Structure 1
């Protein structure tokens, strides 16, 4: 069995080498180094294009998943600051514009401290709710938990780095 394997491998190697010498009807050899180089360059370019499109689709899918989870869109620009101030009655106010009548402080928010909760009935805000106390349905807390959202983005970054690493590996194979 061992000798048969050596024989089979030898025959295959000889068959490949012969393709460099046997000519097609047009006089060109069946196989040439320039042909191998061109084909490997094409394959490399296709792999880079595929990995780039895969990275774009992964980024898009993660953004869409994040939007579905939080109900908000993610912006790449810096978020607007949030201002807080206290009125004469001691009531605290939070807004995206500073107080026109007094001093306001800029509030720094920690994303780990923010939990997103879906409002079941927003009519309570205008005073026209059917009942003032309406319990929220039990939702899976891990879906809206900031830790799970952060984990989602960490996984996305890992996927992005892995795709970039594989693209670099594909580029390094161009030395055929």
Structure 2
């Protein structure tokens, strides 16, 4: 099998190399370094143009989505180029905990913090509906038949089996190392 692979690769290499010497009916070779270079340059230019267009479209899409999210949060439409910032007030309570609000605290000294909506990153919330479901018998289907992860004896047996497998693998690795050293 090894020799057949070498033979097949050699034949393919000879076929590709012969394309540099064999000529078409018009007298030109099938392949030349200049034709490969010009073709690869054209492909490179097409790929750069395609990727820059795609990148520009992605940037525009992200900017539009960010503007929509920011306008939905602030309840007032945002102009295309906004330099105004939203007002946020912060204050510290008696325990040292900081609080943030869009209105100043009437009972404590509030510090105004200006935030630029462009600097705010909005991350989608994770789906936490799985936390509300109760566990069913299907959730333990990964355990082998007759083994429960709630039974301490089953857990001990699994750990012992894992140790036995580990020992067998180490023994086999030593045997392989001894054979390769010969």
Q: What is the TM-score with the length of structure 2 in the denominator?
A: 0.44
Give the TM-score taking structure 1 as reference length.
0.46
Answer 1 or 2: higher relative contact order, Cα 8 Å, separation at least 6: 1
Query: Which is greater in Rg?
Result: 2
